[in-house]
Amino acid sequence: MDFRLSEEQQQFTDSLRRWIERDYTFEARQKIVTSPSGVSDAAYASLVDLGALALAVPEEAGGLGGSSEDMMLVMKELGRGLVVEPYFATVLAADFLRRGGHTAVLESVASGELKLASALNEKDSGHELFNIATSARKDGDQFVIQGLKCAVIHGAQAGGFVVSARTGCEQRDTDGISLFYVPRDTSGVTVTEYRTYDGQRGADVRFDNARVPATALIGVVGRGWEILEASTDYGVALLCAEAVGAMEAANALTLEYLKTRKQFGVPIGTFQVLQHRMADMVIHAEQAKSITILAAVKVLTAAPDERRKLVSAAKVRVGKAMRFIGQQAIQMHGGMGMTNEMSISHYFKRLTAIEVTLGNTDFHRSRFISQPDFAAV
């Protein structure tokens, strides 16, 4: 496999990195995080101008039709810069809509006019996205949605939601699940926003007899699990890419600290035990990067069984790397590494949040083991 970037990919990556280094410094990010909105419209507009949103939208819907490898490069740079704007939330929801053929909505996403969020989690579901209590009943040519979705990433910033609801079968069945696109201004939709510990924004979204037309349906009634699982696997691959960027940045910060911090009159980086620890951090990051590339290449084209196996393997390996690198970076920085003024603490918090998003390491390890051909691996 050729891991080299094409000329266009390299140019786009360089442009995105230059924007982050020039306009999205750690100090600028801190001002955004502590602002009332928690996000920057100007920063999001810059992502639109760079073509990052259009990259996630098919050409027939007015986008650039970027590949999953292209999206991995974007997420890696956003992870490196700890960007808190609702990019991931929007492109994940856009993938649901792409699979459902909602091109009119996607045109607004590509232009930056519309931000999206995926309302999938519930208070009792844990990492099991098929465990759905939210209901949707047919009423004439409409569906009536009732239920509460929790921890919706950037829910308050979204102009529309992709919602999973049960139209049949039992609460933990994969059958009987339907997906809907629900605009934010739909009557009966209430959003309660809060700030998450990693500097992002989350929300609880309540649907109280929220009525949507039959055209809001994504896919086929009662058969939404296939799309739900495929799109969330795509989201996991994107999160792994973001984590790789954050880990590379954390390693660079730690290495620089080892070169400048002195103890007993010499830089602590001259101590062999810390050199070995730093080398282990780099090895973890490189292994995580390799399996993330593999998952990104295959996530949209592989057969379902292979996709599940690759994505879960990536999340497990990246999860191990995030834990090791985050903990070792803080350890080598000392107590000051946990302070709000040190950027390394924010990388640690973001890596911790990624580990539990869309299934933690333990969940994906169990999922990998449950695949039909596991015994043959």
Amino acid 181: pLDDT: 98
Beta carbons within 8 Å of 120's beta carbon, 6+ residues apart? 129, 149, 152, 162, 163, 164, 228, 232
Amino acid 3: pLDDT: 66
Amino acid 57: pLDDT: 96
Q: Which CATH number applies to 226-376: 1.10.274.100, 3.90.1150.10, 1.20.140.10, 1.20.120.330?
A: 1.20.140.10
Q: Say which residue the tokens 């990492």 belong to.
A: 127
Contact criterion met (CB below 8 Å) for 243 and 284 = no
Q: Residue 3 is encoded by which pair of tokens?
A: 């891991």
Going from the C-alpha of 92 to that of each of 32, 99, 237, 370, the distances in angstroms are 23, 11, 11, 25
Question: What are the average pLDDT values for consecutive 10-residue runs of the chain, which has 377 residues?
Answer: 78 95 96 96 97 95 93 97 98 96 92 97 94 96 97 97 96 96 97 96 98 96 96 98 98 95 84 94 97 95 94 97 96 92 96 97 95 68
Residue 370: burial class (beta carbons within 10 Å; 0-12, 13-18, 19+)? exposed
**Which residues face 137 on adjacent strands?**
144
Amino acid 377: pLDDT: 45
**Residue range 7-114, CATH number:** 1.10.540.10
Q: Say which residue the tokens 């918090």 belong to.
A: 349
pTM to 2 decimal places:
0.95
Give the whole-angstrom CA distance, residue 5 versus residue 9.
6
**272-298 vs 304-333: helix crossing angle, rounded to 10:** 160
**Which residues face 301 on adjacent strands?**
none
DSSP per residue over 232-301, as a string? HHHHHHHHHHHHHHHHHHHHHHHHHHHHH-EETTEEGGGSHHHHHHHHHHHHHHHHHHHHHHHHHHHTTT
Contact criterion met (CB below 8 Å) for 334 and 342 = no
Q: What is the pLDDT of residues 65-91, one digit of tens each?
A: 999 999 999 999 999 999 999 999 999
Give the burial string for 254-279 (b: 16+ CB within 10 Å, else e).
Answer: bbebbeeeeeeeeebbeeeebeebbe
Q: Say which residue the tokens 């039959």 belong to.
A: 214
Same fold: 7-114 with 226-376: no
Amino acid 373: pLDDT: 77
β-pairing verdict for 262-263 and 266-267: antiparallel
Q: For residue 222, which amino acid is it?
A: G
Give the whole-angstrom CA distance, residue 342 versus residue 348.
11
- Domain 118-223 belongs to what topology? Butyryl-CoA Dehydrogenase, subunit A; domain 2 (2.40.110)
Amino acid 263: pLDDT: 85
Contact criterion met (CB below 8 Å) for 130 and 225 = yes
Q: Residue 262 is encoded by which pair of tokens?
A: 């002195």
Long-range contacts of 98-102 (CB under 8 A, 24+ apart): 98/57, 98/58, 98/61, 99/218, 99/219, 99/227, 99/230, 99/231, 100/179, 100/181, 100/217, 100/218, 100/219, 100/227, 102/181, 102/218
Give the burial string for 59-92 (b: 16+ CB within 10 Å, else e).
Answer: eebbbbebebbbbbbbbbbbbbbbbbbbbbbbbb
Domain residue limits, the chain = 7-114, 118-223, 226-376
